[in-house]
Amino acid sequence: MKKVALITGASSGIGRELARIHASKGGDLILVARRRERLEELKNELQQQYSVSVIIMAKDLTDPAVPGEIFTETIRQHIQVEYLINNAGFGGHGMFHERSLEKHLEMIQVNITALTALTHYFIPHMIANGLGRIMNLSSTAAFLSGPLQAVYFASKSYVKLFGEALHNELRNENISVTTLCPGATSTEFASTGDLEQTALFKGNARSASSVAAYGYHSMMKGKRVAINEPLMGFALNHLLHLFPRKWVIRASRMAMEPSRKEIKVGRQVA
Ligand SMILES: NC(=O)c1ccc[n+]([C@@H]2O[C@H](COP(=O)([O-])OP(=O)(O)OC[C@H]3O[C@@H](n4cnc5c(N)ncnc54)[C@H](OP(=O)(O)O)[C@@H]3O)[C@@H](O)[C@H]2O)c1
């Protein structure tokens, strides 16, 4: 296999689009997600369209053994993974104490622990091969605290801080670490996380293909942090700290509340 990218969460949304872009450049793929049929469909599409090799691994990243199994399988098959894209992740709307602890811990397992474990397995392999590119999916949420999505926002802060540190640690190793921080994007993310009625997702969400294209380009350039919305990026990096943190957290909560339109409809129905 050549120029192999391992992409987690490749069965939908941003991950699926990243797989399409990588295949369009002639790169082979290892696709990871739980939904095998989706991965099979994508594999057939990419193999027919671009004559690339695609391996699928239908795995549940809430299982702590899975990152190790994925790594062992690539070594067993003598596959040199050049690109590691830790994209799998999910959110969940609601008051922290009212959502199940099990769901919170699963979120931490997928968004943080599996991403950390895969990165730990593959870095020595990349160092031995003399090259590598890693991209981790964070979010604009990484810059904020997120009432009504407390664990999700915190998990994405971890991903960003972790990625920035590794970007520095690996600067002399020919391995780049890019943290992609998208804003609201049209994927299955909102429905999976009960976020469809929130003000954030009632606004303008970007397409998964545009976010993936921006992320892929940033990864190839070895960018440290990539925010696909330039104005948002400027505000998060340069303006946020000018406001009292209390206000910022309130604004963040407003984005997670039902949109005004929904409240109006709700009142009419009630
Ligand atoms: N959409 C947004 O607004 C947005 C904004 C900022 C950041 N992000 C981040 O972007 C990444 C991709 O999300 P998306 O928007 O493309 O959402 P999506 O369409 O829901 O895709 C999520 C992917 O993660 C996989 N996944 C979820 N739980 C998994 C598990 N337990 N084991 C293995 N795979 C699992 C899903 O596959 P299966 O269900 O088949 O397992 C799916 O392929 C996430 O990390 C998300 O936090 C999204």
| pLDDT tens-digit series, residues 177-186 | 999 999 999 9
Cα(264) to centroid(ligand 1), Å: 30
Residue ID of nearest Cα to ligand 1 atom 17: 189
Nearest-atom number in ligand 1 for the CA of 208 is: 16
Residue in this structure with the two tokens 């790594």, named with its chain if needed: 71
Looking at residue 1, its pLDDT comes to 84
Nearest-atom number in ligand 1 for the CA of 10 is: 43
Looking at residue 162, its pLDDT comes to 98
Looking at residue 52, its pLDDT comes to 97
**Closest residue by Cα to residue 74 from 135, 20, 128:** 128
> What CA–CA distances, in Å, run from 132 to 1, 49, 217?
15, 26, 15
Q: Which of 69, 87, 105 to mutate to test the pocket of ligand 1 (most atoms within 8 A of CB)?
A: 87
Cα distance between residue 257 and residue 151, in whole Å? 16
Residue ID of nearest Cα to ligand 1 atom 16: 13
Count of other CB atoms within 10 angstroms of residue 258: 16
Low pLDDT (below 70) residues in the chain: 260-270
Q: Which CATH superfamily is domain 4-269 in?
A: NAD(P)-binding Rossmann-like Domain (3.40.50.720)
- Is position 152 annotated as part of the catalytic site? yes
Looking at residue 262, its pLDDT comes to 52
> What pTM was computed for the model?
0.95
Nearest-atom number in ligand 1 for the CA of 180 is: 7
Strand order in the sheet with 29-33: 54-58, 29-33, 4-8, 81-86, 132-137, 175-180, 225-226
Looking at residue 269, its pLDDT comes to 33
Looking at residue 203, its pLDDT comes to 80
Count of other CB atoms within 10 angstroms of residue 211: 26
Label residue 194 exposed, middle or buried (CB < 10 Å: 0-12, 13-18, 19+): middle
Q: 152, 158, 214, 216: which one is catalytic?
A: 152
Bridge partners of 258?
Answer: 198
> Is 56 a pocket residue for ligand 1 (Cβ < 6 Å)?
no
Task: Record the tokens describing residue 48, joined without a space.
Answer: 């027919």
**Closest residue by Cα to residue 74 from 135, 122, 16, 114:** 122
Cα distance between residue 221 and residue 158, in whole Å? 23
Q: Which of 6, 7, 8, 11 to mutate to test the pocket of ligand 1 (most atoms within 8 A of CB)?
A: 11
